[in-house]
Amino acid sequence: MKHSYGWVIVGAGALMGCVAIGALFSLAVFLQPMSETTGWSRTGISTTMTIDFLVMGVAAFGWGALTDRFGPRIVVLAGAILLGLGLVLASRAASLLEFQIVYGVVVGVAAGAVFAPMMATVTGWFDKHRSLAVSLVSAGMGMAPMTVAPFAQWLIQSHDWRTAQLIIGIAAWVLLIPAALLVRRAPTTAAEGAPGLPAEGGEDLTVGRALRSPQFIVLSLTFFFCCAAHSGPIFHVVSYALACGLPAMTAVTIYSSEGLAGLGGRLLFGLLGDRFGARRIVVLGLMVQAVGAGAYYFARSAGEFYAVAIVFGMAYGGVMPLYAVIAREYFPMRIMGTVIGGSSMIASLGMALGPAAGGWLFDKFGGYGLLYIGSFGVGLAAVAMALAFPARPAGAGSRLQAA
């Protein structure tokens, strides 16, 4: 029964991730029409996304700690309510500052209630196939560019951007609140290691010691550079394709192709992670991600954009869920929400760099070329950091390396 309901948790987490992350990233579709309608600069609107990532990271740490203490249901339910509220209020914003505060803070706090709490929860429901289960939850987030982004583009073609964003906010309430009610904390029998499982953090491990450990530091910095490498290319790909002369719907479908490839990457990397080890697959995926980010610099035609989007999307989508699997190898379930939330908070700083940097580079130089060159370099830094992952301590009741 425990094992079968775990797949219900996976399904609920996938749906919530799709809606929450899709709603957050739909700002990429709104970027050009909002700028043209309101006169707000692309840098200003893109900075809203930077605020989102910063707030989401801090919130993820807090939501993760609350998940450890009170369980995931109340956390994801609060996030569902806040997400719809933030989108509805943002659609009524009268100034850029007001939009940045509402969309950046409220929506960012709400989105932070999904990733870390659900990833932590799912790792506790599964002894076997953990990489696959976590990857399937993340696959829901990967569905966002194929669902919410085209939906947003369709709404913008029929309505002004404010009405479109209002509709997305109401839809978020309708979908997320029932899904949140299905979420449960993992049974205590699955909450900690069982015989035959990989050795995981000791019972005496404190949160403070965990957050100071080499394992947490390397995990978080790898996550940081990974997100810094892909956030700019993801957020600006629609505008970049438009700047290269491609039609609006083609530009959006390129964005969606990244998501579709990311979905496949999550499933493939999840299976490979179970078979060959999550750390080894993360290194491979980060290398492919760096190459994909740099390849965008040379893309001009629709075919070239689609080809790069598939490779890039598969790589960044595939590695993202495996950080939670690596965390579960190092740390006990009782502090998993805090650990994943803490690493997500640091990663969000990386996510925050790309959108603002891309907007500034476009406004300063009239193009996105330097964004993709820089993303390639940062991607290589992520590979170097991943190669420094400490070995998992061996032995029964294993302990982390001394902090």
State the chain's mean pLDDT as an integer.
Answer: 85
Tens-place pLDDT, residues 171-195: 999 999 999 999 998 886 444 443 3
- 3-state SS, one letter per residue, for 111-158: HCCCHHHHHHHHHHHCCCCHHHHHHHHHHHHHCHHHHHHHHHHHHHHH
Share of the chain above pLDDT 70, in %: 91
Burial-class residue 307 by CB neighbours within 10 Å (0-12, 13-18, 19+): middle
The answer to whether residue 204 scores a pLDDT higher than 70 is no
pLDDT at 199: 40
List the one residue out of 76, 115, 49 whose CA is nearest residue 343. Answer: 115
Is residue 129 scored above 60 in pLDDT?
yes
Write out pLDDT tens, residues 308-340. 999 999 999 889 888 988 888 888 888 888 898
For residue 188, what pLDDT is reported?
A: 64
Predicted confidence band of residue 46 (pLDDT cuts 50, 70, 90): confident
- What average pLDDT does the segment 266-277 reach? 86
Per-residue pLDDT, 230? 93
Percentage of the chain with pLDDT > 90?
37
What's the confidence (pLDDT) of residue 229?
93
Least confident span in 34-38, 66-70, 80-84, 258-262: 258-262
Determine which of 76-90, 109-123, 369-383 has the lowest per-residue pLDDT on average.
Answer: 109-123
Q: Which residues contact 187 (CB under 8 A, 6 or more apart)?
A: 2
Q: How far apart are CA 307 and CA 66, in angstroms?
A: 42
Sequence-ordered list of residues with C-beta below 8 angstroms from that of 75, at least 6 positions apart, any chain: 63, 66, 67, 113, 117
Residue 3 pLDDT: 60
Answering whether pTM is above 0.75, one says no
Q: Which CATH architecture has domain 2-186+205-386?
A: Up-down Bundle (1.20)
**Per-residue pLDDT at 74 exceeds 70:** yes
Indicate whether 402 pLDDT > 70. Answer: no
Sign of CA dihedral 35, 39, 42, 45: negative
The domain limits of the chain are 2-186+205-386
Residue 176 has what pLDDT?
Answer: 95
Q: pLDDT class for 198, splitting at 50, 70, 90?
A: very low
Burial group, residue 176, by CB count within 10 angstroms (0-12, 13-18, 19+): buried
391 or 99, higher pLDDT = 99
Residue 224's Cβ-count burial label (10 Å; 0-12, 13-18, 19+) is: buried
**What's the pLDDT at 320?**
86
DSSP H or E stretch at residue 97: helix 96-101
Mean pLDDT of 207-223: 90
The pLDDT score that the predictor gives to residue 182 is 94
- Closest by CA to 314, choosing from 356, 367, 272, 360, is 272
What's the pLDDT band for 145 if we cut at 50, 70, 90?
low
Could you read off the pLDDT of 349-383 as tens digits, one per residue? 888 788 778 888 888 888 888 999 999 999 999 99
